[in-house]
Amino acid sequence: MAADDSASCMARAHDVLRQRFGYASFRAGQDLLVEQLLQGRDCLGVMPTGAGKSLCYQVPALVLEGLTVVISPLISLMKDQVDALRSNGVEADCLNSSLAPAERSAVLRRVAEGRCRILYVAPERLGTPEFSRLVAQAPVALVAVDEAHCISHWGHDFRPSYGDIPRFIDGLDPRPAVGAYTATATQRVRADIERLLELRAPFVLVTGFDRANLHFAVERPRDRPAALLAFVQGHREESGIVYCATRRAVEEVCEALCSAGLAATRYHAGLGEEERRANQDDFLYDRKAVMVATNAFGMGIDKSNVGYVVHYHMPQNLESYYQEAGRAGRDGSPATCLLLYGPADVQTNTYLITHSEEREGGDADPVAREERINNDLALLRQMTFYATTNDCLRGFILRYFGEAAPVSCGDCSNCLTAFEDLDMTIEAQKAVSCVFRLRERGRSVGKALITDILRGSRNRRILEQGLDTLTTYGIMADCSTSRLRALLDVLIEKGHLDLTETEYPVVRINERSRALFAPDASFTVKLPKEKPPSERGGRDGRGEKDGPEGLASAPPRARRTADGAPSDWEADIDPQLFERLRTLRTRLASEAGMPAYIVFTNAALREMAARKPRTPEELLQVSGVGATKLERYGADFLACIQEHLAR
């Protein structure tokens, strides 16, 4: 495709994004994946849950002529995906075993007549004669494979039927571009997707895995049920998911929440299909605020207004954890991901891994089985490190997924508990004086030696060089080595001292050093909090202390949205207006028989409650309001805002 064709395709893609979906711009990575797919190139998009993978194929589907086939593993959720698209005025349908014959023929007719742009199918459908006839009639412009990791044995959601996809694609003439999407980042799974789906020289894009609006927390409560109850009670206004390791735990936890008067429902593979569907709907439609579930629940759940995900037990690996936790805050609103950890979780998971049954189509061969078990145990070790680390949780996750991360995000439970702001003016003056005194003797030394001098160490180097006769020798004996090192780092970072870029870097005075001695000088440093000696040695001590109260009253944090920085309107949200808009949304959604978040996301309502649009044009500026939604709901929402302002 020529460059100007590509530019005009992208211009159309932006129009679709704005007019259909009501979004002003693509998120990082989406534009590249859209562009490559539109140029006819196979793509593999690896993005975290909630990052917006769907738009990467939905937008091209609407730019290209012809049908887009979306292969997705979960039948029970296709209807909601289709509803969401239709609410944006997109002609979409799904084909799966849950359709009644009449519905099925209606869908087939629409597809054959070119009145369907996006068709969701379960992989099991692909090989059927009915489907082959259908795609022979309707030219397929694009094939999208959602949750593409399901094709890999090494993923955590292996589905044998995904193996049928390449044959289906081969049968299409001409072969359309194929887009594959997953949140699973391990190299092994990625390689499997490329190979097993037979992607042709795909454009592979791995976006950043950070989800800035998610607040990560790990707690180790003495009393798990009480901790959970306190947390859920503290988040009554929100909808949330509680993941448990076993069906029995799901039953118990759900029961406990219900008896405490909370609106909870449950989901696990032991329940009948009808009940699962009903409970899932209760949750999606906000009739029940809390879903207590095993990991059988959630893949493909696009409910955007999930305010928290609590793991009542530790899952087996960080891929699963991040995927499940990532179901919180999809619409970009601030949300919490809490892991309740107990050491028994490790034993339980080890048992489950080593006693797991052979996987279907998988490791009948004992060597392969052993390899898989070792692989799973290694993943479990990493998960356990996450649960027990004292370091930044967000940083831990990002590094696990192969990304660089700052030492502290300042927002997770570790960063919030482990750091304190200290006035270290005097300490800073002492440290800088030491560098001055050394210079008077014509010496420049490294950070380690400065630390030793200030702490009054009697090591050989100091004594041999007579550094114990410096006036600054031993003046910071009461400061720990790690804190002193950290102080020097901050002094260098803030430019009060220089560090040479030589093989053995040495510390030097600079023109900003003297500023610290001004009468009004003040030097505050954010440093890791030092625990009293009795509490040192891991988070265990701290966890034991933390009662359930600690969980419910998490420290207030800056509201962070999906794009990291707080939005400029965030502070202007009128809570009463938000409630009115929410009530209106509930009414419209129930009249239409749709989940509330399909009408508008919480993020869109919050923006409305802050910007208070008065005209259709102003309403269109709100992220998530496109042409169709404006037409359907605009008048109602504008009237509601008017009424509120006129009160």
Q: Contact positions toward Mg ion, by CB under 5 A?
A: 53
Rounded distance between C-alpha atoms, residue 269 and residue 147, angstroms? 20
Q: In 235-305, at which residue ranges do the beta strands (DSSP E only) sit?
A: 239-243, 264-267, 290-293
- Least distance to ligand ADP, CB of residue 327, Å: 8
Q: Rounded to an integer, what is the distance from CA 614 to the centroid of its chain?
A: 34
Q: Which does 295 bind (CB under 5 to 8 A by kind): Mg ion, ligand ADP, none?
A: none
- Least distance to ligand ADP, CB of residue 81, Å: 9
Residues 6+ apart with CB under 8 A from 127: 164, 167, 168
Q: Which does 23 bind (CB under 5 to 8 A by kind): ligand ADP, Mg ion, none?
A: ligand ADP
Rounded distance between C-alpha atoms, residue 502 and residue 219, angstroms? 43
Q: Which does 52 bind (CB under 5 to 8 A by kind): ligand ADP, Mg ion, none?
A: ligand ADP
Q: Which does 305 bind (CB under 5 to 8 A by kind): ligand ADP, Mg ion, none?
A: none
Q: Contact positions toward ligand ADP, by CB under 6 A?
A: 23, 26-27, 30, 47, 49-55, 302, 304, 330-331, 601, 623
Rounded distance between C-alpha atoms, residue 581 and residue 579, angstroms? 5
User: What is the three-state SS of 410-460?
Assistant: CCCHHHHHHEEEEECHHHHHHHHHHHHHHHHCCCCCCHHHHHHHHHCCCCH
- Least distance to Mg ion, CB of residue 236, Å: 28
Residues 6+ apart with CB under 8 A from 451: 481, 484, 485, 488
Q: Which does 331 bind (CB under 5 to 8 A by kind): Mg ion, ligand ADP, none?
A: ligand ADP
- Least distance to ligand ADP, CB of residue 148, Å: 11
- Least distance to Mg ion, CB of residue 594, Å: 19
Cα Dmax for the chain: 95
Angle at alpha carbon of residue 615, lines to 613 and 616, rounded to 5°: 105
What are the counts of helices (DSSP H) followed by strands (DSSP E) for the chain? 27, 17
Which DSSP state fits 555?
A: P
Q: Which C-beta is closer to ligand ADP: that of 473 or that of 600?
A: 600
Q: Which does 55 bind (CB under 5 to 8 A by kind): Mg ion, ligand ADP, none?
A: ligand ADP
- Least distance to Mg ion, CB of residue 265, Å: 23
- Least distance to Mg ion, CB of residue 24, Å: 21
Q: Which does 333 bind (CB under 5 to 8 A by kind): Mg ion, ligand ADP, none?
A: none
Q: Which does 93 bind (CB under 5 to 8 A by kind): ligand ADP, Mg ion, none?
A: none
- Least distance to Mg ion, CB of residue 30, Å: 13
Residues 6+ apart with CB under 8 A from 124: 97, 161, 164
Q: How many CA atoms lie less than 13 Å away from 256 in the CB half-sphere?
A: 17
Ranked by CB distance to Mg ion, the top (closest) residue is 53
User: What is the three-state SS of 562-604?
Assistant: CCCCCCCCHHHCCHHHHHHHHHHHHHHHHHHCCCHHHHCCHHH
Q: For residue 388, which of 345, 335, 325, 327 has the smallest C-alpha distance?
A: 345
3-state secondary structure of 498: strand
Q: Which C-beta is closer to ligand ADP: that of 306 or that of 453?
A: 306
Q: Which C-beta is closer to ligand ADP: that of 11 or that of 136?
A: 11
Place of tokens 């160490």: 457
Which DSSP state fits 210?
A: -
Q: Which does 350 bind (CB under 5 to 8 A by kind): ligand ADP, Mg ion, none?
A: none
Q: What are phi and psi of 159, to 5 degrees?
A: -125, 110
Rounded distance between C-alpha atoms, residue 550 and residue 548, angstroms? 5
CB 20 within 8 A of CB 626: yes
Q: Which does 280 bind (CB under 5 to 8 A by kind): ligand ADP, Mg ion, none?
A: none
Q: Rounded to an integer, what is the distance from CA 231 to the centroid of its chain?
A: 20
Q: Which C-beta is closer to Mg ion: that of 53 or that of 288?
A: 53
Q: Which C-beta is closer to Mg ion: that of 77 or that of 339?
A: 77
Beta-carbon neighbour count of residue 570 at 10 Å?
Answer: 17
Q: Which C-beta is closer to Mg ion: that of 53 or that of 125?
A: 53
- Least distance to ligand ADP, CB of residue 624, Å: 7
Q: Which C-beta is closer to Mg ion: that of 319 or that of 498?
A: 319
Q: Which C-beta is closer to Mg ion: that of 53 or that of 303?
A: 53
- Least distance to ligand ADP, CB of residue 340, Å: 24
Q: Which C-beta is closer to Mg ion: that of 59 or that of 380?
A: 59
- Least distance to ligand ADP, CB of residue 58, Å: 8
Q: Rounded to an integer, what is the distance from CA 629 to the centroid of its chain?
A: 27
Q: Which C-beta is closer to ligand ADP: that of 197 or that of 507?
A: 197
Q: Which C-beta is closer to Mg ion: that of 147 or that of 376?
A: 147
Q: Which does 168 bind (CB under 5 to 8 A by kind): ligand ADP, Mg ion, none?
A: none
Ranked by CB distance to ligand ADP, the top (closest) residue is 52
Q: What are phi and psi of 226, to 5 degrees?
A: -65, -40
CB 354 within 8 A of CB 334: no
Q: What is the DSSP string of 61-124?
A: HHHSSSEEEEE-S-HHHHHHHHHHHHHTT--EEEE-TTS-HHHHHHHHHHHHTT--SEEEE-GG
Q: Which does 277 bind (CB under 5 to 8 A by kind): ligand ADP, Mg ion, none?
A: none
Q: Which C-beta is closer to ligand ADP: that of 106 or that of 565?
A: 565
Q: Which C-beta is closer to Mg ion: that of 335 or that of 445?
A: 335
Q: Which does 623 bind (CB under 5 to 8 A by kind): Mg ion, ligand ADP, none?
A: ligand ADP
Q: Which C-beta is closer to Mg ion: that of 53 or that of 580?
A: 53
Q: What are phi and psi of 419, to 5 degrees?
A: -120, 150
- Least distance to ligand ADP, CB of residue 37, Å: 15
3-state secondary structure of 316: coil
- Least distance to ligand ADP, CB of residue 301, Å: 9
Q: Which C-beta is closer to ligand ADP: that of 266 or that of 303?
A: 303
Residues 6+ apart with CB under 8 A from 298: 241, 324, 327
Which DSSP state fits 356?
A: P
- Least distance to ligand ADP, CB of residue 380, Å: 24
Q: Which does 641 bind (CB under 5 to 8 A by kind): Mg ion, ligand ADP, none?
A: none
3-state secondary structure of 178: strand
Q: Which does 50 bind (CB under 5 to 8 A by kind): Mg ion, ligand ADP, none?
A: ligand ADP
- Least distance to ligand ADP, CB of residue 343, Å: 32
Residue 339 one-letter amino acid: L
